Amino acid sequence: MSIIDASLTEAQKILQETARRFAREEILPHSHEWEEAGEFPRELYEKAGSIGLLGVGFPEELGGVGGGALEILMSIEGLMEGMTTGVTVGLGSHQIALPPVVEFGSDPLRRRIVDEVLRGEKIAALAITEPGAGSDVAGITTRATRRDDGSYRINGAKTFITSGVRADYLTVLTRTSDDKHGGLTFFVVERDREGLSISKPLKKTGWWSSDTAELGFDDVVVPEENRLGAEGTGFLALMKNFQLERLALAGYGYTTAALALRLARENVEERRAFGRPLKGFQVLRHRLADMATKTLAARVLTFEVARAIDRGESCFEEVAMAKNLTAETAVAVTYDAVQIFGGAGYMRETVVERLSRDARLLPIGGGTQEIMKEIISRQMGLV
Ligand SMILES: Cc1cc2nc3c(=O)[nH]c(=O)nc-3n(C[C@H](O)[C@H](O)[C@H](O)COP(=O)(O)OP(=O)(O)OC[C@H]3O[C@@H](n4cnc5c(N)ncnc54)[C@H](O)[C@@H]3O)c2cc1C
């Protein structure tokens, strides 16, 4: 229990505990096997959906269970007790894919897809990044061209798409005009559309149990109903989406650090060297003290930013700060945890080894550390 847990409401504590129990019963016993296999069973979505875990942050009238940014953090904290970021982000890909559908999609489209994704019957993924444009999101070239009957023809390629291999619905950012920022438009593309090709899972440093895909769009035709909002609203939808995506990544960051800290702490109690437990060495105690301090600071900042989001405040820059602080903390604390485990920390069956690989994505995904610093320095009036 830390100083900020006391401020959680009963409902938030129950949500956190529900997610934690689910992770300990349904994920943790299989996490090593699923990570090594590079996938987790599709049924896990339905199990999570049946107890409302996929509906956190979504409105009840669309099949969600309500809640805001803080509730999303509670569900991440609980699910990460499964000790695999891969499963948590795989289960959570709809958290970044559905908000543009909920906010900008037509009623028939929302009714058709949101509920079944939140029940875990279908999987949704967000496709923005392209082989030629990642940080420079407005540099994307995937083109959607309007046809005479109102439908759209999509051509282009996407890469690094989380859950892209298995997704039934893809929320795809396209270019509908040459206006750099004002020419972007989101569409939903169903996986069985002719002309859509989906790669095998890409091999990665970490997040092994989540699949990551390359997508090809070769004259893929979608009806007008699949367009999210008016043409040209894609950049606005994207910026709104980044807020919760980056907050969630901050959640993965401090949670990864907290798990590594807990495991390292257990190790210094149990492991002995030179006739005493490792905690008998001041240098290791102090390393743990630093790890604990950084982890708490990262969690406190992320909580405060989540509370500000829930109050309706715009905090694009503060989210960027939380994302960077938590990512740096996760990388540093997992590095230290591996060090405290010694040789065992370098072995595949040791959880801190996995956490240290998983942490490396955090300063890259969802907007890199450098892009976050650009956002922060712009707010400081330096750009
Ligand atoms: C495991 C994984 C899962 C992912 N999941 C998804 C997903 O579900 N959907 C999706 O759309 N994308 C996804 N991504 C893509 C991810 O968001 C991008 O990789 C990320 O935004 C960086 O883009 P990039 O890889 O093209 O790097 P680049 O943009 O090519 O950047 C390369 C380097 O240049 C730096 N750089 C670029 N521009 C600037 C600048 N202006 N100032 C200073 N430095 C700069 C970057 O910080 C970085 O260090 C995923 C990536 C990975 C690895």
Contacts of 70 (CB under 8 A, 6+ apart): 8, 12, 303, 306, 307, 310
Whole-angstrom Cα distance, residue 314 to residue 305?
Answer: 10
Atom number, ligand 1, closest to the C-alpha of residue 370: 47
Strands 143-146 and 152-162: antiparallel
The pLDDT-based confidence of 1 (bands split at 50, 70, 90) is: low
For ligand 1, say whether the CB of 161 is within 6 Å of any of its atoms.
yes
Sign of CA dihedral 42, 43, 45, 48: negative
Assess contact for 321 and 254: CB atoms under 8 A. Answer: no
Nearest CA owner, ligand 1 atom 43: 370
**Percent of residues, the chain, with pLDDT higher than 70:** 100
Q: Which entry of 245, 318, 328, 353 is annotated as an active-site residue? A: 245
Q: Which domains does the chain possess? A: 5-95+107-118 (1.10.540.10), 124-232 (2.40.110.10), 236-379 (1.20.140.10)
Supply the pLDDT for residue 283. Answer: 98
Going from the Cα of 66 to the center of ligand 1, the distance in angstroms, rounded, reads 31
What's 100's DSSP letter? H
Going from the Cα of 134 to the center of ligand 1, the distance in angstroms, rounded, reads 5
Q: What is the average per-residue pLDDT within 39-53? A: 98
pTM of the model: 0.97
Q: What is the average per-residue pLDDT within 174-181? A: 97
317 is catalytic: no
Residue 277 pLDDT greater than 90, yes or no: yes
Query: To test ligand 1's pocket by mutation, which of 130, 163, 173, 368 has the most ligand atoms within 8 angstroms of CB?
Result: 368
Query: To test ligand 1's pocket by mutation, which of 170, 174, 211, 364 has the most ligand atoms within 8 angstroms of CB?
Result: 364
Q: What digits encode the pLDDT tens for the residues 347-374?
A: 999 999 999 999 999 999 999 999 999 9
Whole-angstrom Cα distance, residue 80 to residue 237?
Answer: 28
Residue 328 pLDDT greater than 70, yes or no: yes
Residue 2 pLDDT greater than 80, yes or no: no
